[in-house]
Amino acid sequence: MDILSNLGEINWLAVVTATFAAFFLGGLWYSKKLFGTRWMLEIGLTEDSIYSSGMARTFGTTFVLQFIAATALAVFLGTDSSWMNGLQSGLLIGFLWVATAYGTTYLFEQRSLCLFMINAGYNVVLFAVMGTILGAWH
């Protein structure tokens, strides 16, 4: 894999779109409509503590990190991918790399299975969505 040549061939509009999709998914996933209430309970946060922690910095940094992840995934997929290849790669990355890394950490930190399912599940869906976008729109 020639990373530098792949960087030059990236569809940056697709990367930005995947970044916004990841950001939107995170907002939905950790909202009260889905898993936000249980997530806050599991990690011991309240709405007041979250909103008093400098949300502009948190959201801004999150967006940059999602952009980096989308860029790395675009390089990994290359320009010959399809939406199906992107979806499959995203699922494999989410399950086999990210979720297993969370699992190992959560076992040693003695965190709950529920918190693992929320956080690892988000990343599995996140990489599947980003992979699909990047694979389809290269």
Contact of 89 with 76, CB cutoff 8 Å: yes
Q: What is the mean pLDDT of residues 109-138?
A: 96
Q: What is the mean pLDDT of residues 67-83?
A: 94
pLDDT at 52 over 80: no
Q: Is 32 exposed, middle or buried (0-12, 13-18, 19+ CB in 10 A)?
A: exposed
**Structure tokens of 137?**
């729109």
Domain range annotation of the chain: 3-136
Q: How far is CA 71 from CA 10, 60, 66, 85, 133, in A?
A: 8, 17, 8, 16, 12
**Using 50, 70 and 90 to split pLDDT, how confident is the model at 3?**
low
Q: What is the mean pLDDT of residues 32-50?
A: 91
Amino acid identity, position 11: N
**Structure tokens of 3?**
């990373």
DSSP, collapsed to helix, strand or coil, labels residue 104 as: helix
pLDDT at 9 over 70: yes
Contact of 133 with 73, CB cutoff 8 Å: no
Mean per-residue pLDDT over the chain, rounded: 93
Q: What is the mean pLDDT of residues 20-37?
A: 96
Contact of 101 with 134, CB cutoff 8 Å: no
Pairwise pLDDT comparison (9 vs 130), residue with the higher score: 130
pLDDT for the residue 123: 98
Buried b (16+ CB within 10 A) or exposed e, 63-74: eeebbebbbebb
pTM of this structure: 0.90
Q: What is the mean pLDDT of residues 29-47?
A: 94
pLDDT at 1 over 60: no
CA distance 4 to 133: 21
How many residues does the structure list for the chain?
Answer: 138
pLDDT at 132 over 80: yes
